[in-house]
A and B are shown apart, each in its own frame.
Chain A
Amino acid sequence: MKNMFRKCIIAGATLAASIGSGSAQDKVSVAAISGYFAQGFGISIVDGLNKAKGEFGIDLKLVDTGNRALDYEEQFANLAKDGQYDLIFVMGWELVDALTKASEAYPNQRFVFIDGVLDSKKIVYANFAEEQGSFIAGALAGMIENQGSAFDKIGDGKAIGFVGGRDIPVIRNFLGGYEQGSKYAAPDVKVNSVFAGTFDDPAKGSELALALYGQGADIVYNVAGPTGEGVMQASAGADKYSIGVDIDMCSSAPGNVLASMLKRGDVAVYSLIKNEVEGNKVVAGSTHTFDLASGGVEVKVCDDIAPSIPADVTAKLDEIKKGIADGSIKVDRAK
C-alpha cells in the first residue's frame, strides 16, 4: 500500500515535471482563428499550418469563430489573454472589428491578418498580390477570347466576364488586375463584371454567370467563394469556360475550367512560421506581401486544357510573368 502511494507520487511528480518542461521550452506556439477553415482559401491556410506543424513541431490551435458577431470579441480575448501564442493568424473581413479591439487590448500579442491591410499599426499583415495573379488570368482569358472560333467553345463576342462575391476592396483588387491584364494582352476584349453581393449563394453565382455567357462572354473569372461554385457549374451547363480562384478548381467542371488563380495561403503562413522558428520574428505594423515572384500567387492552367493553348499565348504569358516579376510590367492595386 505504502509502495503504491509512493509510486503515485513519483508518477505525479514526473507528470508535473514533463508539463513544466513542456511550457519552459522555447517552442513556437501558433493559433489561427477564422470562420472559413472548411472552404477554399481557408483549406490552403490549414494545409500550410499543418505543414509547419509537421516540420517544426510547433503547437497549433485552430479556432472556428462560427457566424455570430456577438462571439468574436470574447473569442479573441480567450486566445490572447494568457499570451500563450506567439502568433495568432486571423482570416476573414467580418473579424476586423473584433481584431482591431483585441490588438489594442493586448498590445503584446502579435496578430497576423491574412489577406488584406488595415489602418492599425498594431497588427501584422500577410497580403497577397492577387492583382498580379489576376493580371495573368486576365491576359490568358483575353488572348483565348481573341482566338475567336478557332478555339473550342469560343464565340465572336470579344468579351470576358467576372463574377465577384461582395463588393469589398480585396475583390475590387482582383477585378482591377483582371481588367489590366486583359487590356494589356488583348485590348479589343471587353470585361463585363458583376458582384453577387454574397459569398454563400451558388445558385446566384450560376445565374449571374449564365447571364454573362448570354451577353457574349465566353470566359468567366470566379472570385466569389462558395457563390463561385455556381459559376463553375454554369460553365459546364453553358459549355463555356470559367477560371477558378484561391485553390485548384480544375476538377469542379473538367473541360470547362480554363485555369485557376491560386492564392497560396499555405505558402504565406508556412513562410511566416518558418521565419518565427528561425528567429526572424515578424513585428507589428509590418506588411508581408506574397506575390508572383515569391510564389504567393500563381496561375495554373488546367492539365486537360493546356495542350490546346496556342504556343504564342503560352510564350506571351511567360513574358508577362517575367515582366511582372522583374518590375517592367506594373500592375496597379485597386484603391
Chain B
Amino acid sequence: MNDKLRAFSGQLVAVLIALAMGAVIIMLIDESPIKVFMTLMRGAFGDQAKIAGTLLQTTPILICGIAACIGLRGGMFNVGIEGQLFLGGFAAAWVGFAMPLPPGLHVVVAMAVAVIAGAAWVSIPAFFRTRYGTNEVVSTILSNYVAVLLTSYLTIFLFKRPGGWSETPPILASAYLPELFAFSRLNWGLIIGLVLALFVAWFFRSTAKGYSISMVGSAPKFAEYGGIDVKRQGFLVLLASGAVGGLAGGIETLGVHHRFMEGFAPGFGFDGLIAALLANGSPIGTIVTALFFGALRNGSLLLETDTNASREIITVIQALIILSVSAQVLMKRRGDSTAGERRWKF
C-alpha cells in the first residue's frame, strides 16, 4: 500500500510540475495563467452541460485507456488502438445504416460487430508477433495508418452519402446508443466504460487467468517456467485489447455521431494509451486519468473562445505531463539502483 501511495504521489508531483511549466508558457504568450486555468475549470465543470461535455470527452479516452491497460498488463504494447477505434467505428456504422434490425437488438449487434472488427484488425499484428516474434509496437503503429485510410476509402468510394461531406448515410434510430440527459450528447457509452473498467480491474485482481496474464506481463520467463503458454496468451491479450479498441469506436459512432465520417475521431487511441500509462496500467486509475484528460480537452474548447490562448496549449500541457511522468520513472529507477552506496556521491 505504501508503495502504491508513493507511486501515486509521484504521478501527482509530475502532473503539477507539468502544469507549472505550462503556466510559464502561458505567460510567454502574454496571457494570465490564473485566467487560463480558471477558464479551463469553468469550461470543464462550469455547469451541468459542461460537466456532461467533459464526461463525453472522457468516454473514448477511458475505453481506449482500458484497451491499453489490458495490453500493458499482459506485456503487450498495443499502439494500434487508434486503428481499431476507426475500424470499430466504421463497422458499427455499417451495421447501423445497412442492416435494419429491431430496436435493442440492433445496437447490441452493431457493438458486437465493432468489437469483432477491432479484434480482427489487431489479429494481423498479433499473429506476426506470436508466429515470428515481430515487434508488436511497430506493426500496430503502422496498422493505424492503414486503418484510417481504409475507412476513408470505404467511406468515400463505397458508402458515401450522396451530396455533402465525406460521410456514410446516418444510422437508423434503432441503432442509437441512448443518451443519458436531454441537454447533452452524453450517452450510455460512459456507463459501459465504467463497468468495463471495474470488470477488468476485478479480472486482474481476482481471477487465476488475470493473475497468469499479469505474470506474463511482469516476468515472462518465470511465467513460461511455471507452465503458461506465453505465446498463446500474448495473442489473446492483444485480441482482447483490440476488441475493446473496436468497442470504443462503436460507441462513438452509435452514441455520438450517428454516422461515420472520414477522420471521425483522430487521436483518441493515443490519448487513451497515455491515460493508461499515466495510471501505471491500472483500469481504476485510468478512470481518473481519462477524466483528467477529458476535462482538459473540454475546458480547452472554452479556452479558445474566452481567452487569447490557443486550444493547443492543452496539447502542450499533455506533452509536458508525459515528459515529466517518464522523467519521474527514470529518476525512480536511478534512485532504486543507486540506493545506499552511490546516493549523494557524485
Contact = CB atoms under 8 A, between A and B. Distances in A.
Contacts of B43: 78
A166 B301 contact: no
B257 A69 contact: yes
Interface string B240-263: 000000000000100011000101
A67 interface: yes
B305 A166 contact: no
Interface string B131-167: 0000000000000000000001100110010011110
A93 interface: yes
Given A74-B53, A93-B164, A79 B264 contact: no
B156 A70 contact: no
Contact of B311 (A64, A70, A197): A64
Contacts of A63: 304-305
A39 to B, nearest CB: 16
B298 interface: yes
Given A78-B301, A78-B302, A79-B305, A73 B264 contact: no
B261 A69 contact: yes
B267 A64 contact: no
A107 interface: no
B157 to A, nearest CB: 7
A198 B306 CA distance: 33
Contact of A68 (B164, B266, B305, B306): B266
B305 A75 contact: yes
Contacts of B157: 197
B244 to A, nearest CB: 19
A94 B166 CA distance: 8
A231 B185 CA distance: 41
Nearest to B49: A77
A71 interface: yes
Q: Which range contains the number of B residues in contact with the other chain? A: 20 to 34
A219 B281 CA distance: 57
B57 interface: yes
Nearest to B258: A97
B146 to A, nearest CB: 15
A38 interface: no
A168 B301 contact: no
Nearest to B185: A73
A307 interface: no
A93 B305 contact: no
B152 A75 contact: no
B56 interface: yes
Contacts of A168: 163-166
Contacts of A67: 263, 266
A169 B162 CA distance: 9
A61 interface: yes
B57 A70 contact: yes
B329 interface: no
B165 A94 contact: yes
A322 B263 CA distance: 43
Interface in B165-221: 165-166, 185
A93 B267 CA distance: 21
A66 interface: yes
B310 interface: yes
The number of chain A residues touching the other chain, given as a range, is 20 to 34
Contacts of A11: none
A68 B267 contact: yes
Given A68-B267, A73-B185, A74-B298, A94 B305 contact: no
Nearest to A196: B156
B322 interface: no
A96 B60 CA distance: 23
A47 to B, nearest CB: 20
B163 A94 contact: no
Contacts of A167: 156, 160
Contacts of A79: 305
B268 to A, nearest CB: 8
B120 to A, nearest CB: 25
A169 B282 CA distance: 48
B265 interface: yes
A67 B297 CA distance: 13
Given A64-B304, A68-B267, A78-B305, A169 B163 contact: yes
B38 to A, nearest CB: 15
A49 B255 CA distance: 37
A94 B302 contact: no
A169 B311 contact: no
A68 B304 contact: no
Interface of B: 43, 49, 53, 56-57, 60, 152-153, 156-157, 160, 163-166, 185, 252, 256-257, 261, 263-267, 297-298, 301-302, 304-306, 310-311
Interface of A: 31, 61, 63-64, 66-71, 73-75, 77-79, 93-94, 96, 166-169, 197-198
| Leading 8 A-B pairs by shortest Cβ distance | A78-B305, A93-B165, A197-B156, A74-B301, A78-B302, A74-B53, A75-B301, A63-B304
18 contacts: A63-B305, A64-B311, A67-B266, A69-B264, A69-B265, A70-B265, A74-B53, A74-B301, A75-B301, A78-B43, A78-B301, A78-B302, A93-B164, A96-B164, A166-B156, A167-B156, A197-B153, A198-B152
Given A61-B305, A68-B267, A168-B163, 11 more contacts: A63-B305, A64-B311, A67-B263, A67-B266, A69-B257, A69-B261, A70-B256, A78-B302, A79-B305, A93-B165, A169-B164
